[in-house]
Structure 1
Amino acid sequence: MSAATESKRKNLMRKELAWLRRGAPARTAKPKFRIDAANQLIENEPPPRDPIELKQMATARLGKDVVDILDVGVSYGDNEVLRHIEWRIGPGERTGVLGANGVGKSTLLGLVTGAVTPTTGRVKRGKTVKVVTLTQELDELKDVGSDRVSDVVGRQRTSYVSGGKEMTPSQLLERLGFSNAQMSTPVRDLSGGQKRRLQLLLILLDEPNVLVLDEPTNDLDTDMLAAMEDLLDSWPGTLLVVSHDRYLLERITDQQYAIIDGHLRHLPGGVDQYLRLRKEQDAHAADAASGAPAAKKAGLSSADLRMTKKEIASIDRKLAKMSARIDALHVEIAEHDQSDFPGLSTLTAAVTTIEEQMSELEHRWIELSELVDS
């Protein structure tokens, strides 16, 4: 069991690394030799999911029409929350929705699920659309508190297809991190995170073709999140996610939108673009409040920029040489007489010294990189 658990952990680790390498663009504040080492580890690892295959499966379940929000506005009294929203949601799309608190994200999701009626415009839904929302209220568990976890899952479905493989409810529970003992536990005795995982599993077993996640990370630790993300990778449907968790959005969605000033805006640049827009908004608001434009940020001169880049390149070379030296010392330690404690101590001390020097150089590398990027 320990070997199987470790194997799963390593497979998931490689998958996460592959996503980090291929996923949404972000500045990587690491020296080149470390990036090369990570790339070598994952060079043969496939992407976390196959979007083309999932879209084909979703189209087969949904048809071409999912939900079309056409020139929609929503007002509550005199408060206009959304205006002129145009959003055509296709089969198999994985979309993250960003926005500050109170801008209308939940209202937008309500238009998709049918919980909100538009004030202007119209919402068109496909005939086969089955929308389910993973809420924070755990509604799916209200009437099963005294039942065992395995019984609750077993009543709903005897098998489930995930990633092209047929799985039993027990296997799905195991994939979501439930131990054999926990499968026999009454639902009311589960922790908050375990209840959230069970809620997600019950929703997936109900086989919706449009899944809405509204702030799904509450009560979930990193292991639980990783299990949820791994399971969603093979889920063949349309996925809509509202979350303040940047990693989650970039990990399980393929595109992002933001609600800004009541409008829905596509973000080709992902979360980074949204953060820039928010920063510009805040700066304009500050300028308007003070009545004066913000001072222009001073950058490096051309000569200083050239020198900084040269120092970065020099540090890269030094770090690569130090890394190679550490590898050679590890070989020496392995081949050294294991009864020669003073000799082994000297070699180990040499490794520690080089690692400390590398740490100092890496800090300097990051400082210089931030100057170049500013």
Structure 2
Amino acid sequence: MSHLLGADSVHLTLGTRALLEGVSLGVDDGQRIGVVGPNGAGKSTLLRVLSGRQEPDAGRVTRVGGTRVALLDQRDELMAGTVLEAVHGDADAHEWASDARVRAVHAGLLADVALDAPLSELSGGQRRRVALAALLVRDDEILVLDEPTNHLDVEGVAWLASYLVDRYARGGGALVVVTHDRWFLDAVCTRTWEVHDGVVDQYEGGYAAYVLARAERAQQAATVESKRQNLLRKELAWLRRGAPARTSKPKFRIDAATALIADEPPPRDSLALARTATARLGKDVLDIEDVTYTLPDGRVLFDDITWRLGPGDRYGVVGVNGAGKTTLLRLLTGSAVPTSGRVRRGKTVRVAELRQDVEDLDELAGLTVVEAVEREKRTIVVAGKELTAAQLVERLGFTRERARTLVGELSGGERRRLQLLRLLVGEPNVLLLDEPTNDLDTDTLAAVEDLLDGWPGTLIVVSHDRYLLERVCDRQVALLGDGHLRDLPGGVEEYLQLRGAALAASGAGSTSAVGSAAAASAAASAPATGGADTPSTPGPSAAEVRAARKEVQRIERRLQRISALEADLHTRMAAQATDHQAVTALDAELRALAAEREELELAWLEAAETAG
């Protein structure tokens, strides 16, 4: 594997904070590197340094043989010219139209954009995709992407992952990508860099391998710290034996104890999202009944849909851009009124909505973080203990210094965390999350998911983050652009198959064509909700239904047992992290359980469809 780029003892300071301290890295041909780390740790800065956009204060970045590096920055602004000029410059059409790789980029990113369209007329998401396409059609040896999945839907993220894997699977360059999309990291990356506290830790594998390796390192560090604490206690006890004798104690023993005390390692930032109280939820929650919603331009967004949400339901919503995902949430909150039909709400329902943008915090820009929470509630009961707003804010990962920072000075990730906290202190029992992963780093996302795992109320999540949807939601539904809401027993994978079939049937990438194709495919099977009646087909017999229900129960019991076995294996792996052979054997058992789980889940879907 040939070397392409290297960073040697790179230092960079921003204001009074050192973002990079003596960082040394290498990028080799064929590597696909994912970069993770807390918000503000310096991930984007590292990319700019590696690509030559920003000079380090000390150290150097070297490239082998004139290696070319292309960077997709978060702040790319394309405003002048047309889409064609932005992507291909002044190149003649015959120079790129015959290239299958270029045509794939056009189909994957620019299907809904006219090549002669002025950039100034495009939406922010469309301009972002144009900027990404302009890099992908080039032949630079190293491609550096900063949050490329922003503004891409589930389908777009899946296409980009497949394209990048195909492009770099056999060498011919390298990829370095910053993203919070953990499914994307696992699907694409073969190596992970974690940026934190001015350093960069390197791990083999994608996100899942990185999490396991970091847990093993933490276990080893805890063992070392435990031994150090034991030795420190012994040294301190020895020093305290008789004050009069202290002056006669050997100096080297005093120095050793002092060194032990001074050797306390700085703690990594911790984040624990507290499970706050939830208002009681009755059996009637939210019902969308025969709802039609027509836009001002006459387009029918929803056509006679029905969707009933019960207590404890956990739904993920996916769909094409413009299909009405955000409008669906607005119908549930009551901020949008259907053209016909009705939305019924239970008497005990208390809804909280996390919106895509953080503009609702602008009116609080002059308040501190603690004051912004106190506006909602001054005290709250968590796990049986009453906490003040200041204590709760600290549990959410804001240090005491940041807790006294003005809201207007917070980073995007911090504003997102504050948004979530202000919702939770209101003790809602129905939580609607619209793209909740925006601006959050992977550690914060893990903490949010841990919180949602124990959420006792009803949860609806609209997101393109496949990892989040599959992690916290029990079921998924899709808006395919045909006015209907469709159940997805097969989850996100089924949605991608439906979209692929729709695109193949339409022969074009336009949203309207896809919508009509999706409507045709939806007619082949019963949709989750309202819509036109479909021809009846013979159903299973009563005996087949009973057998299927028994099979469902058997599979569910085995799946619960597998979950317990997997948890036990993870505990044993952490306990034996330093024993390579033991970890390898346990990992083999874990893989076997995962394969059995996958087979059981497919069998469950078939049995559940028969059981009804």
CA 1:329–1:131: 2 relative to 1, 3 Å: closer
1:212 is aligned to 2:414? no
Instruction: Judge conservation of contact 1:67–1:90 (CA < 8 Å) in 2.
Output: yes
Number of the residue aligned with 2:282: 63
Number of the residue aligned with 2:291: 72
Q: What one-letter code is carried by the residue in structure 1 that aligns with 2:284? A: D
Q: Which has the higher contact order (CA 8 A, sep 6+)?
A: 1
Instruction: Judge conservation of contact 2:431–2:460 (CA < 8 Å) in 1.
Output: yes
Residue 108 of structure 1 aligns to a residue in which SS? helix
CA 1:165–1:234: 2 relative to 1, 3 Å: farther
Alpha-carbon distance between aligned partners in 1 of 2:386 and 2:443, rounded to the nearest angstrom: 23
CA 1:75–1:166: 2 relative to 1, 3 Å: same
Q: After TM superposition, give the deviation of residue 98 of structure 1 in Å.
A: 0.5
Number of the residue aligned with 1:277: 498
Q: Which runs of 5+ in 1 are unaligned?
A: 1-25, 42-53, 290-325, 331-374
TM-score, normalization by structure 2: 0.37
Alpha-carbon distance between aligned partners in 2 of 1:171 and 1:72, rounded to the nearest angstrom: 44
Residue 201 of structure 1 aligns to a residue in which SS? helix
More displaced stretch, 79-88 vs 117-126: 117-126
Return the match for 1:129 from 325, 340, 349: 349
Structure with bigger gyration radius: 2
1:226 is aligned to 2:446? yes
Instruction: Judge conservation of contact 2:430–2:459 (CA < 8 Å) in 1.
Output: yes
Aligned residues: 249
Return the match for 1:267 from 483, 488, 494: 488
More displaced stretch, 224-233 vs 267-276: 224-233
Q: After TM superposition, give the deviation of residue 158 of structure 1 in Å.
A: 4.1
1:81 is aligned to 2:301? yes
Q: After TM superposition, give the deviation of residue 154 of structure 1 in Å.
A: 3.7
Instruction: Judge conservation of contact 2:362–2:408 (CA < 8 Å) in 1.
Output: no
1:95 is aligned to 2:95? no
Residue 241 of structure 1 aligns to a residue in which SS? strand
Q: Deviations over 1:267-305 (max 9, x none)?
A: 11111111111111111112999xxxxxxxxxxxxxxxx
Instruction: Judge conservation of contact 1:197–1:228 (CA < 8 Å) in 2.
Output: no
Alpha-carbon distance between aligned partners in 2 of 1:237 and 1:164, rounded to the nearest angstrom: 18
Q: After TM superposition, give the deviation of residue 150 of structure 1 in Å.
A: 2.1
Q: What one-letter code is carried by the residue in structure 2 that aligns with 1:234? A: G
Aligned-pair Cα RMSD in Å:
3.6
Write 1 or 2 for the structure with the bigger share of helix.
1
Q: After TM superposition, give the deviation of residue 180 of structure 1 in Å.
A: 2.0
Instruction: Judge conservation of contact 1:103–1:259 (CA < 8 Å) in 2.
Output: yes
Q: After TM superposition, give the deviation of residue 99 of structure 1 in Å.
A: 0.1
Aligned residues: percent identity?
54
Q: Which runs of 5+ in 2 are unaligned?
A: 1-185, 191-207, 216-274, 514-577, 583-612
Kindly report structure 1 stretches of 4+ aligned residues shifted beyond 6 Å: none
Alpha-carbon distance between aligned partners in 1 of 2:581 and 2:301, rounded to the nearest angstrom: 64
Residue 62 of structure 1 aligns to a residue in which SS? coil
Return the match for 1:253 from 442, 465, 473: 473
Q: Deviations over 1:284-339 (max 9, x none)?
A: 112999xxxxxxxxxxxxxxxxxxxxxxxxxxxxxxxxxxxx95799xxxxxxxxx
Q: What one-letter code is carried by the residue in structure 1 that aligns with 2:426? A: D
Number of the residue aligned with 1:141: 361
Q: What one-letter code is carried by the residue in structure 1 that aligns with 2:434? A: D
Q: Deviations over 1:58-110 (max 9, x none)?
A: 7x712111111112111124311111211001112111111010111122112
Alpha-carbon distance between aligned partners in 2 of 1:164 and 1:143, rounded to the nearest angstrom: 33
Number of the residue aligned with 2:38: none
Instruction: Judge conservation of contact 1:163–1:234 (CA < 8 Å) in 2.
Output: no
Alpha-carbon distance between aligned partners in 2 of 1:158 and 1:234, rounded to the nearest angstrom: 24
Residue 507 of structure 2 aligns to a residue in which SS? helix
Alpha-carbon distance between aligned partners in 2 of 1:328 and 1:87, rounded to the nearest angstrom: 51
Number of the residue aligned with 2:414: 194
Residue 288 of structure 2 aligns to a residue in which SS? strand
